[in-house]
Amino acid sequence: LSPGNKSIRVPGEDQSNQVGEMAAILYLLEDVSPYAPLRIYTDSKYVIEALTEYQEEWERNGYIGIKNADLIKAVVAKLRERGSETRFKWVKGHSGIVGNEGADKLAGAGADKAHQDGINLAIKDQFDVAGAQLSTITQALAYKALIEKKDLPRRNGTIATLDMTRHAVKDNFGYTPNDERIWKSIVNKDVRRTVRTYLWKTMHRSYKIGQYWRNIPGWEHREKCQVCGEEESMEHILLECDDPSREAVWDLAKNLWEKKAKKWPELRNIGHILACTLAEIKDDEGKGIRGASRLYRIIITESAHLIWRMRNKRFGEPDKEKWPTVNETENTWTRTINQRLDLDKAMTDPKFETKAIPKSKVISTWKNTLMNEKELPEDWTKVREVLVGSTSKHVRRRVHSGHDPPT
């Protein structure tokens, strides 16, 4: 290998291909003479486009909303310092090009290093173009800039829930997401808007439950769960409460899931619920199961949200006869999941244009979960009477004893 070759471990939590590729350019520019012509070969279209096609616009807008802005600005400044020509050429990755293959090996070696390398993001004053041009900035861009600059303190509860979610993803799906990826996953399009709001508030622990009521005179009793008398929390409501309706919901969810995949991921704490939006379901050989991750997101989020809704119907209601029964809850769950199926079918219509869901995605999502599936046509998205088939232990016991299941 050439003595000029380096394997570098990029510092910071945001470890992505884009960061590594841009950092490599910065290290290169610091090493080579600014007066020698330079030709850079890269398989990263991100690097080339960021430093050429989009550079002027991003700079004009003050790099507002641009990921890795500090790193990109440092590279742009280094390019401006150079007194000779710099050219970029894109090459196809993993195509046998010796230099490209060697760079991949060095990148792998860098990722395995025990310690991170330092990176110099300092910019000389004469090459530092700071801020956005007021003549071109829009109201939306200005608002985004204010949000970026505002140093909002994060509550300890939010930090703890993020960490629980991160570790749950590692437990169930084998990777560790950063905070940004966790927040983005909550607005996943596979999750209904109402449920997204529920997940967001749960992540922030902003619901008025449990300890919230402890120091409010006259309302201290609301700290305790109405069913089992334990201190209430979202984790207790979803995973610990003795409410048989809660147990029935998760049994229905598990029964449906096991039609799709063998293993039911553990739900040990609230982090495992929130981790569902980051699901990457794989088979025993490590290959992704088509449609499984999407179905898992739908099942877990809808089930958790339903348990929360059923709890809210009980809250403050002293008459237990008016509480939702197991049968009512099971029927609501079945109706909710079938409504999601119907929505998926409807969204395959081309009239929705860019918002339409491909038929192949819908079919792969619900494969092996439908009633009388073998009798359905290959494309069942236009068939009206298509229903999800799942029963809880409660229903299965009734059927076994000769009673009709709820309708």
Q: Which two tokens stand for residue 292?
A: 């499984």
What pTM value is reported for the model?
A: 0.66
Confidence of residue 243 (pLDDT cuts 50, 70, 90): very high
pLDDT score, position 276: 97
In contact, 88 and 52? CB cutoff 8 Å: yes
Q: Give residue 73's pLDDT band: very low, low, confident or very high (50, 70, 90).
A: very high
Sorting pLDDT into bands at 50, 70 and 90, what band is 235? very high
pLDDT in the model for residue 5: 64
Q: What would the mean pLDDT of 269-287 be, rounded to a whole number?
A: 92
> Where would I find the H helices in 40-178?
45-51, 55-60, 69-81, 98-111, 139-149, 156-173
Q: Which amino acid is located at 22 in the chain?
A: M
Domain extent listing, the chain: 17-147, 156-400
Place of tokens 């009388």: 372
Q: What is the pLDDT of residues 303-328, one digit of tens each?
A: 999 999 999 999 888 898 999 999 99
CB 340 within 8 A of CB 261: no
Written in H, E and C, the secondary structure of 17-56 is HHHHHHHHHHHHHHHCCCCCCEEEEECCHHHHHHHCCCHH
Q: Which structure tokens are listed for 351?
A: 């009239």
Fold of the 17-147 domain: Nucleotidyltransferase; domain 5 (3.30.420)
Could you read off the pLDDT of 182-208 as tens digits, one per residue? 999 999 999 999 999 999 999 999 999
User: Is the confidence at residue 27, as pLDDT, over 90?
Assistant: no
Bridge partners (DSSP) of residue 86 are 38
Q: Is the pLDDT of residue 124 over 70?
A: yes
